[in-house]
């Protein structure tokens, strides 16, 4: 299964990784003794080797994060609006409640607590026009020869860019880039352009060396670096840094929903430092004992920038210092802004590479919720498309759409079996999305969808032949997991509230079990008996789940069609 079971570091240390029966990481000896998950493969418990335990709870239905609790160190409650935006974080340890508000494009427009207040104003292109922090107001200007998304004046500071869209000067520093547009040198203007930081990269663009105020750091790998002649080993669990060890001892990271370092603790489980952030990543408190902080990224303190891999990010101006060379989502106008950070929703998204936003690690439940359920808008579109296409035998409709203010991409697939399910492929992070119709059951997959769930962890990238529904390109995929989730979604009570999968066959009846049996025959032809047998097993399992809900679901479908005059 290509899982890493051990890793040998340059200093000779061997890191070992253990997995459970679901192929999920369960422990790292000496670092984390036990990791537990729920049925959606979301972490529910982390038992660290120093005796400290973190519990995570989720909403039973939406799978949205409800609470992170590490006794005496963390206790944070999360609340969401109907679109999955965080509207409240109650931190019971520091006795503070933060509240957040958004505009119609889900951009953060206000944030505050008992200790701070921030407001943001944007233009239609996703560029910040004004920022208020307490009584202080900062205005942003654009144009003046730079790209339309590049701020050229922030407050009293003029910003200048080169022809490639790289920031080369602000009020404090001069920035120099190499031929590959990687930042290689920063000079301080007030000190006769003295070089305060130098950066070096390998052929893949990874930063391998840093000289900052005379201190030299070597980045051998994500797990191992040498700073000022001190070796440090970093330990990761599910892509999150959970511990580090050096000559000073071993320490553990307790993170928040973004993967930001919230608390650092030592071998005795005692608090070393607590870090509080403003929404876009600048520090409200702490941030001195550890360099890997906001969303787990390294903060270069001498120049005030976070290193995100492909680019550097300024949390004080809320933008990257360079234009993105990749458009992460061509269907979302806000994603066309080449400098903005995470669609201006820094509480919901993170950017792992400096190129593309994605749902924050512990908000995978939001992605699950959205991907598992189709919006009513997609259902309306799908049903009407079915009516238009129903006389064209074998013609398969495959079209990604943007639905309403949710801006959710729907993969609508119909064909000779009739358009049965209209489902969403993903939100924002998915591209090259496709679906497979198995006798009318839509399995939503994507070559780039990565939400860390059992539903999509082993997706199929496939095309459907318009004449006979034969699969042209095949990859191994988990039939059991995908089909079961598709069936589960099909009788979701979200239909009633406008957030469910709507279904229809040529006879205007919903019979998922029959569809599964039909799908089994298709798979028998395409993949052979093992897949056929497996899907039959899923069919039997689905039948027991489906029957108690069948009548209720049909009533909801009838009600839905009557409401929207879809006869």
DSSP secondary structure, 28-78, as one string: BTTTEEEEEE-TTS-EEEEEETTS-EEEEEE-TTT--EEEEEETTTEEEEE
From residue 241, alpha-carbon distances to 8, 30, 32, 359 in Å are 17, 14, 11, 18
| Angle at which helices 512-527 and 529-563 cross, to 10° | 140
Going by their DSSP bridges, the two strands 408-413 and 422-426 should be labelled as antiparallel
Comparing CA positions, the residue from 450, 543, 441 lying closest to residue 501 is 441
Q: What confidence tens digit (pLDDT) does each residue in 274-291 have?
A: 999 999 999 999 999 999
Burial of 44 (0-12, 13-18, 19+ CB in 10 A): middle
CB 321 within 8 Å of CB 305: yes
Residue 80 bridge partners (DSSP)? 86
Report the distance separating Cα 221 and Cα 480, nearest Å: 37
* 176-158-353 Cα angle (round to 5): 50
Radius of gyration over every alpha carbon of the chain, rounded to an integer in angstroms: 25
Assign residue 59 a region (left: φ > 0; alpha: ψ between -120 and 50; beta: otherwise): beta
| Angle at which helices 479-490 and 512-527 cross, to 10° | 160
Comparing CA positions, the residue from 298, 358, 354 lying closest to residue 322 is 354
Instruction: State the pLDDT at residue 147.
Output: 87
User: Please, which residues have CB within 8 angstroms of residue 544's CB and are 6 or more apart in sequence?
Assistant: none
From residue 536, alpha-carbon distances to 182, 484, 519, 526 in Å are 54, 11, 9, 15
Model pTM score: 0.70
CB 433 within 8 Å of CB 446: yes
| Angle at which helices 479-490 and 364-372 cross, to 10° | 70
Instruction: State the pLDDT at residue 21.
Output: 94
Q: Output phi, psi for 556, to 5 deg.
A: -70, -40
Residue 435 bridge partners (DSSP)? 444
Q: What confidence tens digit (pLDDT) does each residue in 50-74 have?
A: 999 999 999 998 899 999 999 999 9
Q: Which residues of the chain carry a pLDDT beneath 50? A: 371-387, 389-516, 519, 523, 526-527, 531
Report the distance separating Cα 369 and Cα 362, nearest Å: 13
CB 488 within 8 Å of CB 546: no
User: Please, which residues have CB within 8 angstroms of residue 197's CB and are 6 or more apart in sequence?
Assistant: 185, 186, 210, 211, 212, 213, 300, 302, 303
Report the distance separating Cα 191 and Cα 302, nearest Å: 14
Comparing CA positions, the residue from 294, 305, 307, 425 lying closest to residue 367 is 425
Report the distance separating Cα 351 and Cα 104, nearest Å: 22
CB 457 within 8 Å of CB 238: no
Instruction: State the pLDDT at residue 518.
Output: 52
Instruction: State the pLDDT at residue 366.
Output: 61
Q: In the structure encoding, which two tokens stand for residue 534, read together?
A: 């497996």
Complete domains list, the chain, with CATH: 6-364 (2.180.10.10), 373-563 (no CATH)
Q: In the structure encoding, which two tokens stand for residue 288, read together?
A: 């001195």
User: Please, which residues have CB within 8 angstroms of residue 533's CB and are 6 or more apart in sequence?
Assistant: none
Comparing CA positions, the residue from 439, 409, 403, 414 lying closest to residue 424 is 409
Instruction: State the pLDDT at residue 457.
Output: 25
Q: What is the largest CA-CA distance in the chain?
A: 79
Burial of 473 (0-12, 13-18, 19+ CB in 10 A): exposed
Report the distance separating Cα 480 and Cα 40, nearest Å: 14
**C-alpha dihedral sign at 398, 399, 400, 406:** negative
User: Please, which residues have CB within 8 angstroms of residue 134's CB and are 6 or more apart in sequence?
Assistant: 116, 117
Report the distance separating Cα 527 and Cα 516, nearest Å: 15
Instruction: State the pLDDT at residue 413.
Output: 27
Q: In the structure encoding, which two tokens stand for residue 165, read together?
A: 């869209």
Report the distance separating Cα 340 and Cα 516, nearest Å: 44
């Amino acid at each position: 299964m290509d899982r890493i079971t051990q890793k040998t570091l340059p200093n000779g240390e061997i890191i070992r990784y253990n997995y459970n029966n679901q192929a999920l990481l369960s422990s790292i000896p000496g670092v984390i003794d036990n990791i537990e998950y729920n049925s959606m493969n979301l972490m529910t418990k982390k038992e660290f080797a120093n005796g400290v335990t973190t519990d995570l709870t989720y909403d039973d239905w939406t799978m949205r994060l409800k609470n992170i609790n590490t006794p005496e160190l963390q206790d944070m409650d999360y609340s969401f609006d109907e679109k999955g935006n965080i509207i409240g974080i109650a931190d019971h340890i520091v006795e503070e409640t933060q509240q957040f508000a958004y505009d119609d494009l889900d951009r953060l427009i206000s944030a505050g607590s008992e200790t701070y207040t921030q407001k943001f104003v944007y233009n239609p292109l996703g560029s910040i026009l004004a920022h208020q922090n307490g009584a202080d107001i900062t205005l942003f200007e654009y144009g003046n020869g730079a790209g339309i998304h590049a701020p050229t004046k922030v407050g009293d500071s003029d910003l200048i860019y080169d022809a490639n869209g790289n920031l080369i000067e602000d009020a404090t520093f001069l920035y120099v880039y190499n031929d590959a547009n990687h930042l290689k040198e920063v000079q301080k203007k007030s000190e006769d352009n003295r070089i305060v930081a130098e950066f070096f990269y390998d052929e893949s663009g990874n930063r391998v060396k840093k000289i900052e105020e005379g201190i030299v750091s070597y980045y051998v790998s994500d797990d191992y670096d040498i700073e000022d002649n001190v070796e440090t080993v970093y330990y990761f669990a599910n892509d999150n840094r959970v511990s580090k060890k050096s000559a000073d001892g071993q320490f553990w990271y307790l993170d928040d929903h973004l993967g930001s370092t919230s608390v650092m603790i030592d071998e005795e489980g005692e608090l070393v430092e607590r870090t509080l952030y403003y929404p876009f990543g600048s520090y409200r408190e702490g941030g001195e004992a550890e360099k890997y902080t906001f969303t787990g990224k390294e903060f270069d303190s001498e120049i005030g920038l976070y290193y995100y891999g492909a680019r550097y990010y300024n949390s004080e101006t809320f933008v990257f210092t360079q234009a993105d060379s990749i458009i992460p989502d061509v269907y979302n106008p806000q994603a066309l802004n080449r400098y903005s950070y995470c669609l201006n929703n820094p509480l919901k998204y993170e950017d792992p590479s400096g190129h593309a936003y994605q749902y924050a690690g512990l908000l995978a439940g939001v992605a699950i919720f959205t991907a598992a359920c189709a919006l009513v808008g997609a259902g309306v579109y799908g049903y009407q498309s079915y009516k238009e296409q129903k006389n064209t035998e074998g013609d398969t409709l495959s079209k990604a759409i943007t639905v309403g203010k949710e801006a959710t991409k729907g993969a609508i697939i119909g064909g000779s079996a009739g358009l049965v399910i209209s489902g969403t492929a993903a939100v924002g992070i998915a591209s090259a999305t496709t679906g497979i119709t198995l006798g009318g059951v839509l399995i939503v997959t994507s070559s780039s969808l990565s939400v860390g769930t059992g539903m999509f962890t082993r997706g199929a990238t496939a095309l459907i032949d318009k004449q006979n529904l034969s699969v042209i390109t095949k990859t191994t995929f988990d039939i059991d997991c995908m089909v079961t989730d598709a069936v589960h979604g099909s009788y979701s009570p979200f239909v009633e509230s406008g957030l469910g999968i709507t279904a229809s066959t040529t006879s205007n009846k919903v019979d998922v079990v029959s569809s599964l049996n039909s799908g089994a025959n298709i798979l028998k032809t395409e993949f052979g008996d093992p897949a056929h047998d497996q899907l039959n097993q899923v069919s039997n399992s689905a039948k027991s789940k489906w029957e108690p809900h069948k009548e209720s679901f049909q009533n909801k479908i009838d009600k839905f069609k009557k409401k929207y005059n879809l006869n």
